[in-house]
Chains A and B, each alone.
Chain A
Amino acid sequence: MSAHDHDPTRPGHNPARRQALNCLAAWTGATVVWTVAGGVPRALGATGGAAPTAAAKNALTFVQISDTHIGFHKEANPDVVGSLRRAIADIHALPQTPAFVVHTGDVSHLSKPEEFAQARDLLKEIRVDRVHTIPGEHDTIDEGATGYLKFFDHDGKGKSWYSFDQGGVHFVGLNNVLNFKMGTMAALGDEQIGWLKGDLASVSHSTPIVVLGHIPLWTIWEPWGWGTADSAQAMALLRPFGSVTVLNGHIHQVLQKVEGNIALHTARSLAYPLPTPGQAGIGEPGPVKVPAGELGKMLGTRQLSVVPGQHDLALIDKPLDA
Chain B
Amino acid sequence: MPERRRRKDTRVNYPSTRTALDPLRVGAAVVLLLCAAFVPPAVCAAAAPTATAVAISKFAFAPKEITVAPGTRIVWTNHDGTPHTVTSTDKSFASKGLDTDDKFEHTFATVGDFSYSCTLHPFMTGIVHVRK
Q: Do A and B bind each other?
A: yes
A positions within 8 Å CB-CB of B: 74-76, 109-111, 137-138, 141-142, 180-186, 222-225, 283-287
**Contact A138–B122 (Cβ < 8 Å):** no
Residues of B within 8 A of A284 (CB): 58-60, 80
B-side contacts of A184, CB under 8 Å: 122-123
Report whether over half of chain A's contact residues are helix, strand or loop; otherwise say mixed: loop
- Residue B99 is within 8 A (CB to CB) of chain A in the complex: yes
Determine whether B8 belongs to the interface, using a CB cutoff of 8 Å to chain A.
no
Q: For B120, give its contact among A141, A183, A185, A223 (CB under 8 Å).
A: A141
Which residue of B81, B89, B116 contacts A75 across the interface (Cβ within 8 Å)? Answer: B81
Given contacts A182-B116, A224-B123, A286-B80, 13 further A-B contacts (CB under 8 A): A109-B83, A110-B83, A110-B97, A138-B83, A141-B85, A141-B119, A182-B122, A183-B123, A185-B123, A223-B123, A283-B58, A284-B60, A287-B82
Using a Cβ cutoff of 8 Å, how many contacts connect chains A and B? Answer: 65
* B6: A residues at CB distance < 8 A: none
Per-position 1/0 for B94-109, Cβ under 8 A of A: 0011011000000000
Asked if B117 CB lies within 8 Å of chain A CBs, one says yes
Which residues of chain B are near A180, meaning CB under 8 Å?
A: 117, 119-120, 122
Cα distance A322–B121 in the bound complex, in angstroms: 32
Check A141 against B97 for contact (C-beta < 8 Å): yes
B: which residues have CB within 8 A of A? 58-60, 80-83, 85, 89, 96-97, 99-100, 115-117, 119-123, 125
- CB atoms of B123 and A186 under 8 A apart: no
Q: How far is the CA of A226 from the CA of B80 in the complex (A)?
A: 19
Contacts A141-B96, A285-B59 hold; do A186 and B81 have CB atoms under 8 A apart?
A: no
Query: Given A110-B97, A141-B83, is A286 in contact with B59 using a C-beta cutoff of 8 Å?
Result: yes
The interface residues of chain B lying within 8 Å CB-to-CB of A286 are: 58-59, 80-82
